Amino acid sequence: QVRLVESGGGLVQPGGSLRLSCAASGSIFSIYAMGWYRQAPGKERELVARITNGIMTNYADSVKSRFTISRDNTKNTVILQMNSLKPEDTAVYYCNLNYSMGKLWGRGTQVTVSS
């Protein structure tokens, strides 16, 4: 059974930073991509950042130059470094795994940006 374990959410003031981590474990034969999505209250889930097995990345326009996604392939882990956070970044952040057996979502971690 494949599992995703997310960590790193919390409360931060505007302009602050947070680091989200997501580790995949289990019978994973091949990972195609890992990424982070977010969902704010009353809004649809949206892509934040994504990184493929070939380390190609793509970001939502709203987070470019502020967020950085990276992977540790040896640990099947994806990291989202979030800097210069804004109140509009407040949402539940979900890790997503796209692998040989399909797609999997994490349970989500709350990020709140408020003074």
CA distances to 4, 7, 61, 109 from 13, rounded to whole Å, are 27, 18, 22, 17
Share of the chain above pLDDT 70, in %: 99
Amino acid sitting at position 83: N
pLDDT digits over 58-75, tens only? Answer: 999 999 999 999 998 888
pLDDT digits over 91-111, tens only? Answer: 999 999 999 889 999 999 999
pLDDT at position 31 is: 87
Whether residue 38 contacts residue 45, with contact meaning beta carbons closer than 8 Å, is answered with: yes
User: Span 2-23, mean pLDDT?
Assistant: 96
User: Span 67-86, mean pLDDT?
Assistant: 95
Query: Shortest CA distance to 81 belongs to which of 17, 10, 6, 13?
Result: 17
Residue 5 Cα to chain centre, angstroms: 11
